[in-house]
Amino acid sequence: RTVYVNGEYLPEAEAKVSVFDRGFLFADGVYEVTSVLGGKLLDFEGHAKRLERSLAELDMPSPISMEDLLEVHRELVRRNDLDEGMIYLQITRGAAGDRDFVFPDPEVTPPTIVLFTQSKTLADVPAAKTGIKVISIDDIRWGRRDIKTVQLLYPSMGKMMAKAAGADDAWMVEDGEVTEGTSNNAYIVKDGKIITRHLGSEILHGITRAAVLRFAREAQMVVEERAFTIEEAKEADEAFVTSASSFVMPVVSVDGVSLGDGMPGPVAARLREIYLDESRKAAV
């Protein structure tokens, strides 16, 4: 595989990052994941804009223009002959000589930028037909979940807790209300209404969420952006999650309680279809 590190395309075995890199020492970095279908990027602009915002919120200068970033994405698709999968992008505050909590001067210590591809079937996956099971766990993450940082230890632990409980993923709960999934935004459907948590610093502002809500409204579906409780989720008619790599994924049980008939619901199925159609059309 060819990867991109600080301006160079290299075979993965030759790509290196310093042991002093602040991404490694402090999780001082941000990332994005952009999906590729048919060799084209889905929602590149949305991901690029969120990246700029994440960087700005952390006072990190961008090491690359958005035009060049698009070119790097496309070049990696070409060099790796990627048809379907993801492009992972990470920018960290770079490697200062010593370990120091204080941010280094960006003029002296430039950010580190890494991109790599991952080939994976995304569209035609069995889970889209069977749905996934989620459990609820406490949301004990920090208060700036709107910044897409590489601090993913707790979400990773959440997936392990789900696995240990015989489920597929976890929904995180704060003050009785669902914030989001470990790596996706969470939705329930009740009496035809699509309910998903409002934006704020408690959740990541999903690029897929924005697109799916737009498509839902265009299709005259009713959308309510508000917090919902885990109890409401257990009584919902259906549920689903969204993310760049899972698109719209039906959820068929919450904490062992089956939703509806235990099969993916019609709203989730329809939104997945619309999202895939529209995103393919708009892919670059």
Question: Which entry of 148, 190, 193, 234 is annotated as an active-site residue?
Answer: 148
- Using CB under 6 A as the binding rule, whether residue 209 contacts ligand PMP is answered as yes
- Binding of ligand PMP at residue 185 (CB under 6 A)? yes
Q: Which is nearer to ligand PMP, 95 or 196 (CB)?
A: 196
Q: Which residue is associated with the tokens 């958005």?
A: 66
Cβ nearer to ligand PMP, comparing 207 with 227: 207
Provide, for the chain, the percentages of residues in helix, strand and coil under a 3-state DSSP scheme, each rounded to the nearest 5.
30, 30, 40
b (16+ CB within 10 A) / e for 132-155: bbbbbbebebeeebbbbbbbbebb
* Distance in Å, CB of 101 to ligand PMP, minimum: 25
- Asked about 40 being catalytic, the answer comes back as no
Is 204 an interacting residue with respect to ligand PMP (CB under 6 A)?
yes
Q: What is the DSSP-derived secondary structure letter of residue 12?
A: G
Identity at 263, one-letter amino acid code: M
Binding string to ligand PMP for residues 15 to 54, with x set by CB under 6 A, is what? Answer: ------------------x---------------------
| Nearest approach, Cβ of residue 47 and ligand PMP (Å) | 7
> Least distance in Å: CB of 82 to ligand PMP?
18
Tokens linked to 108: 């002296």
Q: Which is nearer to ligand PMP, 96 or 212 (CB)?
A: 212
Instruction: Please tell me whether residue 208 binds ligand PMP under the rule CB under 6 A.
Output: yes
Nearer to ligand PMP, 30 or 96 (CB): 30
d(CA 102, CA 90): 21
Tokens representing 116 are: 């790599």
96/194 with CB nearer ligand PMP: 194
Give how far Cα 52 sits from Cα of 31, 113, 124, 243, Å: 10, 13, 31, 19
Residue type, 266: P
Say whether residue 80 binds ligand PMP (CB under 6 A). Answer: no
**30 close to 23: Cβ distance less than 8 angstroms:** no
Angle (nearest 5°) at CA 209 between 206 and 215: 150
Q: Which residues of 36-48 are buried (b: 16+ CB within 10 A; e: fewer)?
A: bbeebbbbbebbb
Min dist. Cβ of residue 136 to ligand PMP (A): 15
Instruction: Give the binding range for ligand PMP (CB under 6 A) out of 124-132, 213-221, 237-245, 257-265.
Output: 237-245
Tokens of 250: 């039906």
Catalytic amino acids? 148
Residues that bind ligand PMP (CB under 6 A): 33, 180, 183-185, 204, 206-209, 242-244
